[in-house]
Structure 1
Amino acid sequence: MEAARQYDVHEAKTRFSRMLQQVESGEEVVISRAGEPIAKVVPLRPGADRTDYGVLRGRIRIAEDFDDLPDDIADAFGMPPRPDCPTVWRTCCAPSPRSVSVP
């Protein structure tokens, strides 16, 4: 592979459009300050087209305890353990939007 073209900061500002053309054509460009490389500009990989929705169906499994929130994590978020859920703070114990009174 060919060495990346190197520009100093001033030259990169002056020749920015040319630098982008080089990157678009697949080259990598290095920007340096006082001879020290500080950044690398590389072409973006083409994005994946997601047209096959559901391709992972049956391949992903959600654990039974997915909604269980251990007390230490609930405490870290400022949620005190619920008396009706003594060991784990469960979403089933969380007040539903319908049961919360708004002043």
Structure 2
Amino acid sequence: MLYLNLHEAKTHLSRYLEQLLQGERIFLCKRNVPIAEIRALSKPLQQKRPIGLAKGEFTVPSQFFDPLPDDLIAAFEGR
């Protein structure tokens, strides 16, 4: 973990990018008090997720398709 004051981060952030890519985290500080964290994003998936990944894991009950009660609809509409 690296702790950088705002001025140092603003001035030299490009120096720390390689460390971020290796999994290091940077804590931005204001007057030596941490206020934010910078970390590398996770790498995107290389392949698409398959369709039907959770098939058979759950069932949708028939009541799911029943109309909602009027009082619940009114609450959603702000009445």
> Above 0.5 in TM-score?
yes
Question: Which residue in the other structure is 1:69 paired with?
Answer: 68
For the aligned residue pairs, the C-alpha RMSD in angstroms reads 2.2
Gaps of 5+ in 1: 81-103
TM-score (norm 1): 0.61
Q: How far is 1:66 from its partner?
A: 1.3
Question: What pairs up with 1:8-23 in 2 under 5 angstroms?
Answer: 8-23=5-20
- In 2, the alpha carbon distance for the partners of 1:50 and 1:60 equals 22
Residues 73 and 10 of structure 1, relative CA distance in 2, 3 Å threshold: same
Count of aligned pairs between the two proteins? 77
Residue 43 of structure 1 pairs with residue 40 of structure 2: yes
Residue 49 of structure 2: SS of its match in structure 1? Answer: coil
* Amino acid corresponding to residue 51 of structure 2 in structure 1: Y
Gaps of 5+ in 2: none
Residues 42 and 64 of structure 1, relative CA distance in 2, 3 Å threshold: same
Task: Give runs of ≥4 in structure 1 deviating > 4 Å.
Answer: none
TM-score (norm 2): 0.76
